[in-house]
Amino acid sequence: MDAQGSLFDNGLFHGVFLYLQNKKSEFMTALFKSWHHKLFLAPIILFGMYPLIPEGQESFLPIFLLLTAVYFYFKNRNKEVFLKPFFILSSLFFIYLLSLTISSNVSYGLRKMETALSLILFPTCYFLFLKKYPVDFDIVKRNFQKVFFTANVVYGALAGYLIQFYRSPKFLFTDASFIRRAISDIPLIGEHPTYVSIFFSLALMCGFSLAADLKNRLSKLLVVLGMLFITGILLAIMSKGIIIALIASIFPIWLLRLKGNSKIWILMGLTIVLAIILSIPRQNNRFYELVDKQSFEKIDTNNSTNVRFHIF
């Protein structure tokens, strides 16, 4: 009886030990996978926060992405690469590189190449190092869109608040030129108004995607309100080319995707946007430069439309 009891106890202990070991293994595996998943998403989330990152620290983002991609490349047994899209997307960088051979100012060319490194960095990371890494790109897309959209709303709120305290002897009125200069002079996160407009335009495209995917009405309402807020600031900055490109990009896509009465709503939305642009007072509406003859008569370095016209 004692021997049987001893055997039973030992067998029970051994079974419990194996069960705990198995659970520990499962826990560690899940933890490791979760840690890997978070590491993979980390650079994507950071790029989503790009508008809020100070200019001096922006260069660390591609470096972090490259290090992360290299890590996953060596962790993944299947090291197959995707050369065709790599060469297609990095072709502009190679054209720049080739142009150095005929450049009369190589040092300047090298400095320009430094600013264009992202043209080869991103294709390298995603088509050479991460080609066969198993990842759900829908999750990646959703996470990036949420973070990037939120970051732009926060940036817009900060800009709107700080502009109230901005003063410059060059600008007597709070017009588009004043707002553009104020945006670029924001401490730490100030950016060229063209770049800010690009951020806002991309955020609006993310907002459209989020609003289409969300099922919760409150979440969808918050996204729509955020989009209206971003649109207001985008119109205040008045980057003509960016706004035209945004309209040209969004509306054809939505006209193709939507059916029935939805197309009517899109056309109504386009009409409202155009009406808002035309209703902005002439002195604060940079779109009038496109139809003003004086914008094209002689070179004016303070007028971007004029400069582009004379270049072409």
Predicted local confidence at residue 162, as pLDDT: 85
Instruction: Please tell me the distance from the alpha carbon of residue 302 to that of residue 251, in angstroms, as a whole number.
Output: 31
Per-residue pLDDT tens for 50-61? 999 887 788 888
CB-based contact 193:304 (threshold 8 Å): no
Q: Going by C-beta distance under 8 Å and a sequence separation of 6 or more, which residues neighbour residue 110?
A: 100
Domain range list for the chain: 1-135, 136-264
> Sign of torsion, CA 6 9 11 13?
negative
Per-residue pLDDT tens for 198-240? 999 999 989 988 888 888 889 889 998 999 899 888 888 877 7
- In single-letter form, the type of residue at position 213 comes to D
Predicted local confidence at residue 299, as pLDDT: 60
Q: Going by C-beta distance under 8 Å and a sequence separation of 6 or more, which residues neighbour residue 181?
A: 166, 168, 170, 171
Per-residue pLDDT tens for 161-171? 888 888 776 76
Q: Which of 4-8, 121-125, 184-188 has the highest mean pLDDT?
A: 121-125
Alpha-helix residue ranges (DSSP H) falling in 76-216 = 83-89, 91-99, 106-115, 118-123, 137-163, 176-184, 193-213
Predicted local confidence at residue 8, as pLDDT: 39
- Check whether 36 has a pLDDT greater than 80: no
- Check whether 20 has a pLDDT greater than 60: no
The more confident residue out of 48 and 2 is: 48
Instruction: Please tell me the distance from the alpha carbon of residue 41 to that of residue 140, in angstroms, as a whole number.
Output: 7
Mean of per-residue pLDDT scores for the chain? 75
Predicted local confidence at residue 301, as pLDDT: 56
Per-residue pLDDT tens for 288-297? 565 565 555 6
Tell me the average pLDDT across 258-278. 66
CB-based contact 287:238 (threshold 8 Å): yes
Instruction: Please tell me the distance from the alpha carbon of residue 125 to that of residue 68, in angstroms, as a whole number.
Output: 9
Per-residue pLDDT tens for 57-114? 888 888 888 888 888 888 777 667 778 888 888 888 888 888 888 888 888 888 888 7
Would you tell me how many other CB atoms lie within 10 Å of the CB of residue 237?
20
